[in-house]
């Protein structure tokens, strides 16, 4: 299925040429001549990625991004500007944009950024779907094993007899993702996105993830039956192979952070 991209620019030539380039690449691209029109369009149509000019009359690019983050938080954003500044770049990054490009950006630069943004969008969508599937029964917060080990995901706590290990929030998120999606292989990049909250390259992701996995594995070493189920898939990522028995606990996962 074609990805939906919206180009927002008050300059007709720039707007039309970029839209045409995207269509030639096979994307379902449309355009809006100002920020207000972009916001109204996104209210009515699903948009995977938006390319927006910073300087526009009326709503400027940053204001558009602020509104879009509220009404369509899954939409990735590329900000284009001819007036780059450190302050503007920091503002843009705080607004959770995917990329920040200086005009005149070449078609190759823009297309490379678009491709990366859509990869990020797809990963976030996959993760969101998995989370939605797990929300069917959010009362299952404790996993128990035949040797007596228990994993309490809401408290980020692992117990076996008199041994107790507490996980950091990041360790807890990583273990939750794996254990709640038994048998599913997650790439390094997907795990960085879900656990740490930001996108990175396929090359950098393993380096970012490795220290976290190492710390988690060190704690899991105290619980061999659990430890052996967190499996590294060579060159790809990680999966959880397990037969833990779930038992329902009426615990809200938000109560314990």
Q: What is the pLDDT along the chain (257 residues), one digit of tens a residue?
A: 789 999 999 999 999 999 999 999 999 999 999 998 999 999 899 999 999 988 888 888 888 888 888 888 889 999 888 766 566 666 665 666 778 888 888 999 999 999 988 887 887 676 655 554 454 444 457 888 888 889 998 888 999 988 999 999 889 888 888 887 888 888 888 888 777 766 667 788 888 888 999 999 999 998 988 888 888 888 888 988 865 444 433 333 333 33
Residues 126 and 142 placed together within one structural domain of the fold: no
Q: Which range marks the domain in which residue 188 is found? A: 138-247
User: Would you say residue 256 lies in a domain?
Assistant: no
pLDDT score of 19 = 95
pTM over 0.75: no
Long-range contacts (CB closer than 8 Å, 24 or more residues apart) made by 212-218: 212/170, 212/171, 212/174, 213/174, 213/238, 215/168, 215/171, 216/167, 216/171, 216/174, 216/175
Residues 21 and 100 placed together within one structural domain of the fold: yes
- What distance in Å separates the CA atoms of residue 103 and residue 87, rounded to the nearest whole number? 17
Residues 117 and 147 placed together within one structural domain of the fold: no
CB of 186 within 8 A of CB of 231? no
Residues 95 and 127 placed together within one structural domain of the fold: yes
Pick the closest to residue 179 from 123, 119, 229 (CA basis).
229
pLDDT score of 85 = 57
Residues 161 and 51 placed together within one structural domain of the fold: no
Parallel, antiparallel, or unpaired: how do β-strands 150-152 and 157-160 relate? Answer: antiparallel
User: Would you say residue 67 lies in a domain?
Assistant: yes
Residues 159 and 241 placed together within one structural domain of the fold: yes
pLDDT score of 137 = 44
pLDDT score of 84 = 60
Helix, strand, coil % in the chain, rounded to nearest 5: 45, 20, 35
**CATH code, domain carrying 85:** 3.40.50.2300
Residues 144 and 69 placed together within one structural domain of the fold: no
Residues paired with residue 143 on neighbouring β-strands, in sequence order: 151, 246
User: Would you say residue 123 lies in a domain?
Assistant: yes
Last residue in a domain, options 81, 112, 131: 131
Residues 127 and 162 placed together within one structural domain of the fold: no
User: Would you say residue 253 lies in a domain?
Assistant: no
**Domains contained in the chain, number:** 2
pLDDT score of 57 = 86
């Amino acid at each position: 299925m074609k990805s939906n991209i919206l180009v927002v620019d008050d300059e007709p030539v720039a707007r039309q040429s970029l839209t045409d380039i995207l269509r030639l690449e096979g994307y379902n691209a449309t355009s809006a001549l100002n920020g207000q029109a972009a916001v109204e369009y996104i209210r009515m149509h699903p948009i995977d990625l938006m390319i927006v000019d910073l300087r526009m009359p009326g709503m400027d690019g940053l204001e558009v991004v602020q509104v879009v983050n509220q009404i369509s938080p899954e939409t990735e954003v590329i900000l284009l500007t001819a007036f780059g500044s450190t302050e503007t770049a920091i503002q843009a990054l705080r607004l959770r944009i995917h990329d920040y490009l200086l005009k005149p950006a070449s078609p190759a630069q823009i297309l490379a950024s678009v491709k990366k943004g859509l990869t990020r969008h797809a990963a976030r969508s996959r993760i969101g779907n998995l989370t939605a599937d797990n929300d069917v029964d959010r009362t299952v917060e404790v996993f128990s094993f035949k040797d007596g080990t228990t994993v309490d995901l809401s408290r980020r706590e692992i117990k076996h007899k008199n041994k107790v290990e507490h996980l950091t929030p990041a360790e807890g998120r990583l273990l939750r993702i794996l254990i709640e999606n038994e048998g599913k292989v997650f790439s390094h990049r997907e795990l960085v996105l879900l656990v740490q909250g930001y996108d990175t390259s396929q090359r950098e992701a393993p380096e970012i993830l490795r220290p976290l996995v190492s710390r988690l594995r060190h704690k899991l070493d105290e619980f061999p039956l659990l430890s052996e189920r967190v499996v590294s898939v060579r060159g790809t990522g990680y999966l959880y192979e397990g037969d833990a028995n779930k038992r329902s606990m009426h615990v809200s996962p938000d109560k314990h952070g």
